[in-house]
Chains A and B, each alone.
Chain A
Amino acid sequence: MTASEREKRLRALADSVVQMDEERAVKESELALEEGIPAYEAISEGLVVGMNEAGKLFEEEEYFVPELLLCSDAMYAGLEVLRPHLPESGEGSEFRLVVGVVEGDTHDIGKNLVKIMVEAGGFEVYDLGNNVPVDRFIETACEVGAHIIALSTMMTTTMDQMPALIGRLRERGLRERFKVLIGGGPISMAYAARIGADGYAPNAARAVKVAKSLLAPLPPAERGAA
C-alpha cells in the first residue's frame, strides 16, 4: 500500500466523521483494517482528525450541537470496529480526565459534548454524569489517577460547587495533584480566575485545547504517574 493510498484511506475516515456518515465510518474502518492500516493509526490519524475538524467547524459557528453529536456517532461507530484490533498493551491513554456536572445541577448536554471532544483528543475520560458531589469527583480522580477534573454547570445557583471543590482539594492536600478545568453557561474566564481554577473553556471544542495546554508543561516523568 502506497503512502498516498494510506493517506487517502485516512482522509476518507476523517471525512466520514466530519460528514456525519455513520455507515461510511464503519465501512471505511473495515477497509482500513483490510488494507493493513494499524487500528491505532486509523483512529488517531483518521477518526480523531475528523472529530477535531468538526470541533473547529463548531468554533466557527459552522457546526452546532446536532452536527457535533452526529459526528461523534460516526466516530464511535468507527471506533467500535477498530478498537478490538488495538494491541493488548493494557495501557490506556496517558492522560486521564474526570468530568461531570456539579451537585445540584442536572443539565448535562454541555458536559456530554466536552466528553466527546476530550475523548477524541486522546484523553481517557471518566464521566460521572450529573449532580455529582464534590467528594465523588475527588475520590474518582484519586482512584483513576486523573490529571484533570473538569466541572460543568448551567446554573448560577450551583456555581459555588466549583470553588467548593477547589477548597476541598486544598483541605486534603491534593490541590497540586489535579488541574481543575471549568465551564458552562454562567461561567466566565474572570470567574475561573477568581476561584483559582486552572482553566476555563467557553465550549466543548475549546475544552480539549485547554485540557491539553494544562498538561503541556508537565515533565514527562510525571505524566503517567497515578
Chain B
Amino acid sequence: MVGNEAGRAGRVRILFQPCGRRGWVPEGVTVLEAARLLGVGIEAACSGCQTCGKCKVKIIEGLVEREEILSSAAHCLAPSEGELECLSPAEISSGYRLACASVVAGELAVFVPEESEALAQVVRKEPRATALEIDSAVECVLATIPAQANAEEALRERLGRARVSEGGDPGAWYFHDSALRELSGKLGSEAAQASFVLAEGAEVIRVDLPSQGRRRTLGLAVDLGTTTVVGLLCDLQSGDLLAHHSMMNPQIQFGEDVLARISFAAGASPGRGEPSSDNRVLLAQAARNALNTLLRETCRAAGCHPSEVVEVTVVGNATMLHLAIGLDPTPIGRTPYQPVVTGPLSIYADLLGLEMLSCGLVHFLPLRAGYVGADTIAGILACDLEDRPGVTLFVDVGTNGEIVLGTPSGLLAAACATGPAFEGAHISAGMRAAQGAIERVRIDPESWEVKIKVIGESGWGAGEVRPRGICGSGIIDAVAEMYRCGILAKTGSFTKERRHPRLVGSGAERSFVLVDEARSATGQAIAVTAKDVRVVQVGKAALYAGAKLLMERAGVGRVDRILLAGAFGSYIDPLSALRIGMLPDCPVEDVVAVGNAAGEGARRALLDRKARERARRLRDELGYVELTLEDGFTRAFAEAMHLPHMSERFERFEESVSRLAWGRQAGAGENRVARQAKCRARGG
C-alpha cells in the first residue's frame, strides 16, 4: 500500500471527501471514530448503534491520485447483519456503508454525502446578562483561625472558635467532612487567616488558606432543556458572567420529546429491544454527563478549574428535572400529569457525580405542575412578571409551549400541546435551526416570488449557503406569507384560483415550492405541503386557544404586551406570529423577544437568594389551568385553527402594521432595531 510507511505501523491513511480532511488513524477504529479523530462531522443519531442509518458514507474505489491513496471497499471489514439492514441493495452495491459499523483495515477514501454530514445546531439560546443585585446563597466569609489550643483540640473545634468578618457563629456552623479533610495537614498550629465558603448561611463547604493561592467561588446556572442544554458560568461574588456553553441534550438518543423519554424511562422502548429497568439510569447518566460537559467547557473557556464551582442551579421542565435527579417521571406522562416532587431540591454534587466541588450543592428550582416546570418559573423570575403593570402574556415556545398571563391580580399558567412543529419537526422539509435551515421567508404578493434567508448566510438571499430544509421560524414565516399572498385561504387550504409554477401537486399532495431542486443543498425541492400547513395550524391554535382561555379566566379582554421566550421565541418574526393568529391581538411593537428567559432565571437564582424565595412562592401561588379539562376547549382550539382565527379580529395588530408601513417609508427597516433597543431597555 502506498501510504504504509515505516514508523506508522498499525496506522493507515484516510481521506474524507468532499471536505478533503485527511490523516493517519489507527487500524481497527470505525470510520465514524476516524472521522471524529480528524474533526469531520458525520451524523450519528443513534450514537453508533447501527440502527438509525444516518451515517451512510461511500467508500471510494481506486486510487485517489493527488492524495496517493489507494482506496478499496476491501479495506473495510465486511459489513455485519445490522449494518446491511440499514442499507438498500442499491446502496450496498454502490459501496455505501455505515460509518459507525465499518472498521478501518487499510487505506481509505471516504465520501460523506450531504445528508450524512453532521451540522452543529445553531443553539439559539444566547445569554442576555442583566445587572443584578448579588446576594448569593454561597458567600465567602473572612475568618481568623486561632492557634491550636492544645495538642488534643480537634480541627472542627478550633475552626468553631474562629472570628469571622461578618456576623455569624462558626461554632454553630456545620463544617462539611470534605472541607475538613482537604484542610487537615495544611493548617499549621499557629493562628491563620482564612476564607470560609459558607453555603445557605449554615454549612462551610470549603476553607481557603492564603497558601492555596486565589481560589474563586463560581457558580453554574443551567437550563436543562429537552433539546438544548445551556450553562452560564458566573462569579458568585461579582456576579460576572464568565463563560457560557450550549449543547444538544444527549438524552435525545433515547427519545426526541418529553413523552418519548418518559416512555423510555418506564422501560417501554418500542424498537429498542427488550425493556430494561436501567433505562432511568441511562437517562440520569446522560443528563449528568451533560452537566459535566457544561462544567468542563465553561471552566475551560474562563480559564478556571471545575473544582472552583461551588454551586449549581438547574431549571428545566418537570420531566428533565425528574430524569436528572433520578426520579420516576411516569406520573407526568398521564393525567393528572403530576410530578413526583415539586421541589425545590438541593443535592450534594458528589451524589450526582458532578465534577465540581464535591460538597457543593446542586439546586433544582421548584415546579408548578407536570407541564409548568422550573423553566417557566425561571422565566417569570427573569421577566419580573409579578411586578409588571397591566396585562403581560409570557410565551415560552420550545418543544412544548408554556404560557403565563400576568395581571395585577396574579399570575395564571397553562401548558399548550403545540407539538414539535415550531422546532421544525413533523414538517416535511423540517429541520432544526442549523446551518442551511431557511429561517426567514418573504413572498411577493403579486408574482409569488420567494425570498429566503438561510442560517449561515450573511444576509437575505446572499447565497453562500445552500438551503437544506426549513426550521421553526421559517415555517411560521412561510405560512404567514402564503396566507398574506392568498396562496392559502383562511381555512389553511391551498387556493384554486390561480395556477403558478410554484404550486405543485394536487389534493392532499399539494405544495408550494420555496426552493427548487437546482438550488437546494439536497437536490430535492424544499416545499411547504398541505400537511405542513395543518401541523402549523394545530400548533398555533393550541397556543392561541390556551392564551385566550387564560385571559377569559383572568377576566381581561386584551394584553398590553407579549414576551416571547425560548430558543424559538427569540427568532420568530412577531409579525408572522400575529399574522397567522398564534398570539392574541397585540400591536406588533409590543411583542418582544426576551431571549433564554429560563437560563436567565437560573442565573438569578444562582446569584440572588431572593429569587429562590420568589420561585418557592410561585410554586404555591402561580395559578394553573389544565386546558384539556376545560369545557369548550375543543371548540376554542378548532376555531383558532383558522388563519388567523375563525371569528376574532386582530384590530390592534392590523393598525400597528399600517403604522409600521408608514414608518418604513420614512426610515426603512429601522423599526426592528428600535424595537430591540426598546426591549433591551425594558429587560434591563
Q: In the complex, what residues of A have CB within 8 A of residue B263's CB?
A: 156-157, 159
Would you call B646 and A64 a contact (CB within 8 A)?
Answer: no
Residues of chain B with a CB closer than 8 A to A152's CB = none
Q: Once the chains are docked, how many angstroms separate the CA of A155 from the CA of B531?
A: 20
In A90-136, the 8 Å CB interface with B consists of: 103-109, 112, 130-131
Stretch at the interface among B6-14, B24-32, B202-210, B328-336: B328-336
Picked from B417, B534, B628, B635, the residue with its CB within 8 Å of the CB of A64 is B534
Tell me whether A19 is interfacial, beta carbon within 8 Å. no
Please name the residue on chain A nearest to B641 by beta carbon. A66
Given contacts A107-B628, A155-B259, contact A65 B641 (CB under 8 A): yes
**Candidate in A63, A105, A107, A155 with the most chain B CB atoms within 10 angstroms:** A155
Chain B residue with the shortest CB-CB distance to A191: B270
Asked whether any CB of chain A lies closer than 8 Å to the CB of B453, the reply is no
- Chain B interface mostly helix, strand, loop or mixed? helix
The binding surface of chain A is classed by DSSP as loop
What range describes how many residues of B lie at the interface? 20 to 34
Residues of A near B19 (CB, < 8 A) are none
Residue contact B634 to A109, C-beta cutoff 8 Å: yes
Evaluate contact between A66 and B491: CB separation under 8 angstroms. Answer: yes
Which residue of A is nearest B490, CB measured? A66
Verify B493–A61 contact, CB threshold 8 A. Answer: yes
- What residues of A have a CB within 8 angstroms of the CB of B268 in the complex? 160
Q: Which of A60, A67, A103, A112 contacts B334 (CB 8 A)?
A: A103
> With contacts A104-B333, A112-B634, A191-B270 known, is A63 near B493, CB below 8 A?
yes
* A103, A104, A159: residue with the most chain B Cβ atoms closer than 10 Å: A104
Give Cα A156 to B270, complex, Å: 10
Q: Knowing A64-B491, A64-B493, A160-B268, say if A109 contacts B638 (CB, 8 Å).
A: yes
CB proximity of B279 to chain A, nearest CB, Å: 14
Please, how many angstroms separate the alpha-carbon atoms of A213 and B629 in the complex? Answer: 33
Q: Is B297 an interface residue (CB 8 A)?
A: no
A44 contacts which chain B residues (CB < 8 A)?
A: none
Tell me the minimal C-beta distance from B390 to chain A in angstroms: 32
Contact with A along B478-498 (1 / 0, CB 8 A): 000000000000011100000
- Considering the complex, give the chain B residue whose CB is closest to the CB of A155: B259
CA distance A160 to B638 in the complex (A): 28
Which of the four size classes fits the interface of chain A? 20 to 34
> Chain B residues with Cβ under 8 A from A186's Cβ?
259
Contact partners of A30 in chain B: CB under 8 A: none
Min Cβ gap A153→B in Å is 10
Say which residue of A103, A108, A156 sits within 8 Å of B634 (CB atoms).
Answer: A108
Instruction: Let me know if B183 is at the binding interface, CB within 8 A.
Output: no
Neighbouring A residues of B626 by C-beta, 8 Å: 106
Q: Which of B266, B508, B635 contacts A60 (CB 8 A)?
A: B508
Q: Which residues of B contact A103 (CB under 8 A)?
A: 334
Cβ–Cβ contact A66 & B628, under 8 A: no
> Taking the nearest CB of chain A, how far is it from the CB of B526, in angstroms?
19
A156 touches which of B259, B534, B639 (Cβ 8 Å): B259
* Contact present for B259 and A61 (CB under 8 Å): no
Residues of B bordering A, CB below 8 Å = 259-260, 262-263, 266, 268, 270, 330, 333-335, 417, 491-493, 507-508, 510, 530-531, 534, 537-538, 626, 628-629, 634-635, 637-639, 641-642, 646
- With beta carbons under 8 angstroms apart, the residue of A64, A69, A108, A157 that contacts B492 is A64
CA distance A69 to B634 in the complex (A): 10
> How far does the Cβ of B582 sit from chain A's closest Cβ, in whole Å?
16
A5 smallest CB distance to B (angstroms): 31
A42 beta carbon closer than 8 Å to chain B? no
Is A139 located at the chain interface by the 8 A CB criterion? Answer: no
CB <8 Å contact, B507 and A158: no
A-B contact pairs, 27 of them (CB 8 A): A60-B507, A60-B508, A61-B530, A63-B493, A65-B538, A65-B638, A65-B641, A66-B639, A66-B641, A66-B642, A66-B646, A104-B333, A104-B334, A105-B335, A107-B417, A109-B634, A109-B638, A130-B335, A131-B335, A156-B259, A156-B262, A156-B263, A156-B333, A157-B259, A157-B262, A157-B334, A186-B259
Cβ contacts under 8 Å, A112 to chain B: 634
- Bound CA–CA A19/B508 (angstroms): 20
Residues of chain A lying within 8 A (CB to CB) of residue B266: 157
Nearest chain-A residue to B260 (Cβ)? A156
When chains A and B are docked, how far (Å) is the Cα of A105 from the Cα of B262? 14
User: A59 contacts the other chain (Cβ, under 8 Å)?
Assistant: yes
Q: Which B residues are CB-close (under 8 A) to A63? A: 491, 493
Q: In the complex, what's the smallest C-beta–C-beta distance from A165 to chain B, in angstroms?
A: 15
Chain A residue at minimum C-beta to C-beta distance from B628? A106
A202 to B263 alpha-carbon distance, docked (Å): 22
Any chain B CB within 8 A of the CB of A192? no
Is A62's CB within 8 Å of the partner chain B? yes
**0 or 1 for each of A155-173: is its CB under 8 Å from B? (1 = yes):** 1111110000000000000
The winner among B260, B538, B634 for most chain A CB atoms within 10 A is: B634
Nearest residue (CB) in B for A58 is: B508
Q: How far is the CA of A67 from the CA of B626 in the complex (A)?
A: 26
Q: A103-B334, A109-B634, A112-B634 are in contact. Are A64 and B259 (CB under 8 A)?
A: no
Does A69 lie within 8 Å of B335, measured CB to CB? no
Confirm or deny: A13 has a beta carbon within 8 angstroms of a beta carbon on chain B.
no
Name which of B492, B534, B628, B641 has the most chain A CB atoms within 10 A of its CB: B628
Query: What separation, in Å, do the CA atoms of A157 and B264 have in the docked complex?
Result: 9
Q: Which residues of B contact A156 (CB under 8 A)?
A: 259-260, 262-263, 333
Which B residue's beta carbon lies closest to that of A60? B507
Q: Which residue of B is nearest A158, CB measured?
A: B334
- Cα–Cα, bound, A63→B334 (Å): 31
Kindly provide the distance from the CB of B483 to the nearest chain A CB, expressed in whole angstroms. Answer: 14
Mask, A50-80, CB within 8 Å of B = 1, is: 0000000001111111110100000000000
- Which A residue sits closest to B538, measured CB to CB? A65
Q: Point out the residues of chain B lying under 8 angstroms from A108, CB to CB.
A: 628, 634
Considering only residues 210-225 of chain A, those with a C-beta below 8 Å from chain B are: none
- For the complex, what is the distance from the CA of A108 to the CA of B628, rounded to whole Å? 8
Q: Are B417 and A154 in contact (CB under 8 A)?
A: yes
A69 to B637, CA, bound (A): 11
Chain B contacts of A155 at CB under 8 A? 259, 333-334
Bound-state CA distance A69–B641 (Å) is: 12
Q: With contacts A109-B634, A155-B259, A159-B263 known, what are 14 further pairs, Cβ within 8 A?
A: A63-B491, A64-B534, A64-B537, A65-B641, A66-B641, A66-B642, A105-B334, A106-B629, A108-B628, A109-B637, A131-B335, A155-B333, A155-B334, A157-B263
> How far, in Å, is B366 (CB) from chain A's closest CB?
23
Residues of chain A within 8 A of B330, CB atoms compared: 157
